[in-house]
Amino acid sequence: MSAEKTHATLGLSDAEYGRIVGLLGREPNFLELSLFSVMWSEHCGYKNSRPLLRRLPTGGERVLQGPGENAGVVELGEGWALAFKIESHNHPSAVEPYEGAATGVGGIIRDILALGARPVALLDSLRFGPPGEERSRYLFGEVVRGVGGYGNAIGVPTVGGELAFSPAYSGNPLVNVMCAGLVRADGIMSARASGEGNVLVLIGSKTGRDGIHGATFASDELSSDSEMRRSNVQVGDPFCGKMLIECCLELVRGGLLVALQDMGAAGITSSASEMAARGGVGVELDVDEVPLREEGMEPHEIMLSESQERMLAVVEPEKVEQVIGIAGRYGLVAAPIGRVAGHGELRVISGGEVAASVPASYLADAPAYEREVVRPAYLEGVRRFEVGDVPPPEDYGAVLLRMLSHPNLCSRRSVYSQYDHEVGTDTVVRPGADAAVMRVKGTTLGYALTTDGRGRHCYLDPEGGAASTVAEAYRNLSCVGARPLAVTDCLNFGNPEKPDAYYQLARCIEGMARACEVFGTPVVGGNVSLYNETSRGAIYPTPVVGMVGVMEDVRRHATPAFKREGDVVLAVGAPVEPSLAGSEYLEVIHGRVAGVPPEPDLAEERRYADLVRGLIERGLVDTAHDVSGGGEVFALAEMALAGGIGFEYEGDPAEGARPDVRLFGERGAGFLVALPGERLEEVERIAGDAGADCRRVGRTGGERFRVGALIDLSLKEMEEAYGRDLFGDGGRSG
């Protein structure tokens, strides 16, 4: 079959095929067309998002490596740096959830490894259809098992994450995984090929047929045929992955590598062409030299295979045997499969003949599209909401219990208990807090990590929702005492060729950009996952933010848990009235997704977050929590449950507003802190000097949770609701 007749089956449009012919000055052969098909896929080429991504700020004071390499890197201090990135494995997880999630973990770990960093922490961001749906419950269980199965076995702790359920994700789950790694600031590896005559060495596993055209599969909408494409999903081996980590780090320490690149989407094709394009050189690959797991593999299968646990290294000729020997000690395959050349081409050799020859820069430069932008018609309807449209509760205690037990708000203990979050002994604050906190051994330094997403908010207000997502991440890091440094993002959206979906993408990126500029948190890397649609429609527009922060003294940190009887609880935040629009309360209790959530005041968000962080750094506060989904009373309930200490609300919760609005309404720039009475005067003075709003909410103590005459519950009955097993009842209590 001629290339002209097959380009459409490989995911290339007629215009793209015409462009390829124009660039080459001839028709490509099947192998060459296959190379273009994966490199010009949305998954690898970012065709629809690249023009928009230029809006994001990427540079900053502590940024050592921004977009362009495998991950971003920020400076921590004392010669240490943190590499970090988030990526998606949505489509693979929809059809093969265990392996899809597991290989998503393996792939992001190798991105960090490619920089010469030791992977030290994992976080996930997961979204599924309602757990009452059998398929959604199956996907949820298998994805969690896959994340834990790979992360636990490879020895990298899963220290945090987030989880949400909505009909918008039925059939198209979101599986985003973030990894961070420590590296010496003067020892960061590059994935830039250089040195004509240097050798390309494949290190790791043998190559098989798993994952062929996985990048193309990830760039299509899911359909009833997707189940037939299980062969596009890779299969991981975490024990081999562990050996690959140790082997590569030894090679880096020994100065044996010129460059290092992981083999992820599009396999050898992407690794080799991207390394060549970055270095402005060519590469020649002999597919006959690639160690194979299966007999009879064709050149295009070898070039496109996404077999896991493989890295591609550039090695000086005199060091090749030493590299092979070290790999052998770890039980890994290492084979010279090509060389760096000066001609600028990606040349594939098979049977001693040139089977394909394409300029590497052509493969790495996919066409970019600026699509039509049309404001979605649904926004006109969902934005119409007045608080009088819903009745106030008759039993506020019952409402709180119902919210505590809802799948979107209940404890995640049944999830993170399946993850090893302490391997490596660097975890200071474990899952369940606003952010994870890790130490840098041998120093007082620490760093914090969080992942946050607000799909419903972005659906109701794409720009405001995306800005609020960044703000929530900033608050979460500040609540544990970390100074936010930078962001990695995972942009999960529907089909960008549809004008309303492209509107959502464009406005969300604008909202993120504005927030990152105000917060001083540049976006140093990330991932875009588009075409997240099924026959039911598109997912919520869901930009997920992974943010990292630094702590000069990791011993001075805070958690949400009440720690002492008799502590004073203060609300610290901008004096803005909460709203039920777009809130968890409105959806959980009244079954409505409607209204425009409050527009975040980004300057106030930063001012109050910085104030709370300063109190923690001074050692005045060790209990802090942001007010987010569920509102103020829900945040207080979480703090009481985390510490096993009751709470008594002071004052009238209904003063000046409907009680459910005051208690369960949501707004930005809000925090709760608890502290001993002897520190109260100093904290109030600091807040006053900063011109910050600070009011006493109540005191900790006892075994009951009381809010005026509206709520009087025992911690035991609250824990029974909040501590539900998400895997046990299929969402019946939600």
pLDDT at 112: 98
Task: Compute the residue count for the chain.
Answer: 734
Cβ within 8 Å of residue 517, ≥6 positions away: 57
Tell me the C-alpha to C-alpha distance, in Å, between residue 619 and each of 356, 429, 447, 717. Answer: 63, 17, 17, 33
CA angle 619, 620, 625 (to 5 degrees): 100
Label residue 331 left, alpha or beta by phi (over 0 means left) and psi (-120 to 50 means alpha).
Answer: left
As given in the structure block, the two tokens for residue 579 are 């709203």
pTM of this prediction?
Answer: 0.94
Answer left, alpha or beta for residue 542, where phi above 0 means left and psi between -120 and 50 means alpha. beta
Residue 352 has pLDDT above 50, yes or no: yes
Are residues 126 and 143 in contact, defined by beta-carbon separation less than 8 angstroms? yes
Q: What is the pLDDT of residues 389-442, one digit of tens each?
A: 999 999 999 999 999 999 999 999 999 999 999 998 999 999 999 999 999 999
What are the structural domain ranges in the chain? 1-39+189-366, 558-734
Backbone angles phi, psi at 642, to 5 degrees: -65, -35
State the average pLDDT over residues 645-650: 96
Residue with structure tokens 């608890």? 674
Helices (H), 349-391: 360-364, 378-382
CA–CA–CA angle 169, 174, 176 (5° rounding): 160
CA distances from 64 to 76, 191, 439, 490 (A): 10, 15, 20, 20
Q: What is the pLDDT of residue 226?
A: 46
Does the 1-39+189-366 domain belong in CATH 3.90.650.10? Answer: yes
Task: Find the helix packing angle between 396-405 and 631-643, rounded to 10°.
Answer: 70
Tokens 């079954």 belong to 591
Please state the rounded mean pLDDT for residues 211-219: 52
Give me the pLDDT at residue 512, please.
98
Topology agreement, domain 1-39+189-366 and domain 558-734: yes
Position 202, amino acid: L
Average of pLDDT values for 383-389? 91
**CA–CA distance, 470 with 80 (Å, rounded to integer):** 25
The mean per-residue pLDDT over the stretch 674-693 comes to: 96
Q: What is the mean pLDDT of residues 249-271?
A: 94
Q: How many CB atoms lie within 10 A of CB 655?
A: 9
- Closest to 124 (Cα-Cα) out of 75, 170, 175: 175
Judged on CB neighbours under 10 Å (0-12, 13-18, 19+), 186 is: exposed
Number of other CB atoms surrounding residue 325 within 10 Å: 10
Q: What pLDDT, on a 0 to 100 scale, did the predictor assign at position 435?
A: 98
Confidence of residue 5 (pLDDT cuts 50, 70, 90): low
Residue 79 exposed, middle or buried by CB count within 10 Å (0-12, 13-18, 19+)? exposed
**Residue from 334, 263, 267, 336 nearest 300 by CA:** 267
Give the C-alpha distances (Å, rounded to integers) separating 79 from 76, 85, 260, 679: 7, 20, 22, 36
Q: Under DSSP, is residue 269 helix (H, G, I), strand (E, B) or coil?
A: helix
35 C-beta neighbours (distance < 10 Å), count? 28
Distance of CA 354 to the CA centre of its chain: 40
User: CA angle 441-489-185, nearest 5°?
Assistant: 35
Using CA atoms, how far apart are residues 280 and 275, in angstroms rounded to an integer?
Answer: 9
CA–CA separation, 454 and 457 (whole Å) = 5
Which run of H or E residues covers position 76?
Answer: strand 72-77
- Local structure of residue 482 (DSSP, 8 states): -
Distance CA 537, CA 518 (A): 34
For 546, phi and psi rounded to 5 degrees? -105, 120
pLDDT of residue 234: 65
Across residues 131-149, what is the average pLDDT?
95
177, 111 Cβ separation under 8 angstroms:
no
- In the predicted model, is pLDDT for residue 520 greater than 80? yes
Contact predicate 533/426, CB 8 Å: no
Nearest Cα neighbor of 727 from 416, 307, 290 is 416
The SS3 assignment for 17 reads: helix
Query: Could you give the CA distance from residue 730 to residue 734 in angstroms, rounded to a whole number?
Result: 9
The set of catalytic residues is: 43, 89
Per-residue model confidence as pLDDT tens digits over 444-481: 999 999 999 999 999 999 999 999 999 999 999 999 99
Separation CA 229–CA 221 (nearest Å) = 12
- Provide the b/e sequence for 360-376 (b: ≥16 CB within 10 Å): bbbbbebeeeebeeeeb
Cα gap 342→282, rounded to integer Å:
5
Helix (H, G, I), strand (E, B) or coil at 723: coil
Q: 563 is written with which tokens?
A: 């720690």
pLDDT tens profile 231-258: 446 677 999 999 999 999 999 999 999 9
DSSP 599: P
Amino acid at the residue 26: R
**The predicted structure's pLDDT at residue 221:** 54
Q: How far is CA 173 from the centre of its chain?
A: 14
User: Which residues 6+ apart lie within 8 Å of 25 measured at CB?
Assistant: none
Weakest mean pLDDT among 86-90, 382-386, 494-498: 382-386
Residue 418 burial (10 A CB sphere; 0-12, 13-18, 19+) = middle
How many Cα atoms sit within 13 Å of 471 on the Cβ side?
A: 31
Average pLDDT taken over every residue of the chain: 93
pLDDT digits (tens, 9 = 90+) for 565-624: 999 999 999 888 899 999 999 999 999 999 999 999 999 999 999 999 999 999 999 999
Condensed to tens digits (0 to 9), the pLDDT of residues 718-731 reads 999 999 899 975 43
Torsion sign over Cα 48, 50, 56, 58: positive
Mean pLDDT computed over 41-70: 93
Distance CA 273, CA 282 (A): 8
Query: Each residue of 162-172: pLDDT tens digit?
Result: 999 999 999 89
* Domain 558-734 of CATH type 3.40.50.970: no
Q: Are 457 and 166 in contact (CB under 8 A)?
A: no
Angle at the Cα of 443 (from 438 to 447), degrees rounded to 5?
A: 25
Identity of the residue numbered 95? V
Per-residue pLDDT at 236: 79
